[in-house]
Amino acid sequence: MEASNNILAEISRLTIYIEENYPELTKYLEENPLTISGNSSSQGNLDDKALSDYLNSLKSLVETYKKQH
């Protein structure tokens, strides 16, 4: 559970960073499907791998954008 909380905190920080520094990317935050729900248990819990995958997709979004601009 602690790992999930750490990943969620990092997702939150990165989302805020994107909103403050790259507002043009916020449309992708809304469009980026949270496939987390497809990997979660029937109880609605999020697993660490799904959270990590989503975090990595956010990081990739920022890095790709930085390289292109």
Looking at per-residue pLDDT, the higher value among 41 and 23 belongs to 23
Q: For residue 26, what are the CA distances in angstroms to 3, 8, 35?
A: 26, 18, 18
pLDDT of res. 31? 64
List the chain domain ranges.
Answer: 2-68
Q: What pLDDT score was predicted for residue 2?
A: 84
Please state, in angstroms and rounded to a whole number, the distance separating the CA atoms of residues 4 and 39.
14
What is the reported pLDDT for 28?
86
Please answer whether residues 14 and 32 qualify as being in contact, where contact means their C-beta atoms are separated by less than 8 angstroms: no
Band (pLDDT 50/70/90 cuts) for residue 48 is confident
pTM for this model (two decimals): 0.76
